[in-house]
Amino acid sequence: MKELIIIAIGAALVNNVVLSQFLGLCPFLGVSKKIDTAAGMGGAIIFVITLSSAITSLIYTFILEKTNLTYLRTIVFILVIAALVQFVEMFLKKSMPALYQSLGVFLPLITTNCAVLGVAITNVQKEYNILESVVNGFATAVGFTIAIVILAGLRERMEYNDVPESFQGMPIVLITSGLMAIAFFGFSGLI
């Protein structure tokens, strides 16, 4: 249990997936203009990453390792993730239209999110078992959600600020993220 808590805190705060590992930057910078959309994206990411880390780790332990095909992991993982996202989208559309309404638009974007593949590969490299992988995946995605919601909040405030002309748009967002990254360093004392 203690191990799992350490993994969770490490993945969500200390090694935050966007701010210290730079995975999933595209949605982080792209969909962080409003708090609601940012939270929606975060929800979709939590859903997909938790599911995909469970499935990829099952496939890795029970198929790839058993058949000595571990070197195929990149190919297998990316295909599984792409298929999974499609499948989740169809499933939600059919059986949970309300959830689909709120997450639907973000799902197609997630396939290209490197955080999903990144988590799957980290799980393998750190030799996590299946439970640990799921916890790691979930916590990483929660960390992503925390970061993107905070950034969206900051950007909503920044809209009315007087930003130098050249820094408008992307540069000021990058600087804000940099400052957030410094703030997140504070968590490294936690573990």
Partner 1 sequence: MNKCMERLFNGLVKENPTFVLMLGMCPTLAVTTSAMNGLGMGLTTTVVLIMSNLIISLLRKVIPDKVRIPAYIVIIASFVTLVELLLEGFIPTLYSALGIYIPLIVVNCIILGRAESYASKNSPVASAFDGIGMGLGFTVGLTSIGMVREILGVGQIFGIQILPSSYEGMTIFILAPGAFFVLAALTALQNKVRNSKGKPKAVGCSEGCGACQNTSCLGKEQTKEAK
Say if CB 116 and CB 49 are below 8 A apart: yes
CB of 11 to partner 1, least distance (A): 14
Q: Is 96 in the site for partner 1 (CB under 8 A)?
A: no
Q: Which of 39, 54, 105, 154 binds partner 1 (CB under 8 A)?
A: 105
Q: How far apart are the first and last CA of the chain?
A: 15
Q: Which of 48, 6, 8, 4 is nearest to 24 (CA)?
A: 48
Separation of alpha carbons 110 and 104, rounded Å: 11
**Contact between 167 and partner 1 per CB under 8 A:** yes
- Residue in the structure block whose two tokens are 């996202």: 85
In angstroms, what CA-CA distances link 22 with 26, 90, 166? 10, 30, 24
Cβ within 8 Å of residue 64, ≥6 positions away = 70, 72, 73, 76
Binding mask 8-47 for partner 1 (x = CB under 8 A): -----------xxxxxxxxx-xxxxx---x----------
- Considering only CA atoms, which of 25, 46, 42, 55 is closest in space to residue 120? 55
Query: Among 58, 80, 82, 149, which residue interacts with partner 1 (rule: CB under 8 A)?
Result: 82
99 makes contact with partner 1 (CB under 8 A): no
Least distance between partner 1 and beta carbon 61 (Å): 18
Total number of residues binding partner 1 (CB under 8 A)? 54
Minimum CB–partner distance for residue 143 and partner 1 (Å)? 13
Q: Which residues bind partner 1 (CB under 8 A)?
A: 19-27, 29-33, 37, 71-75, 78-79, 82, 105-106, 108-109, 111-114, 117-118, 121-122, 125, 164-175, 177-179, 181-182, 185
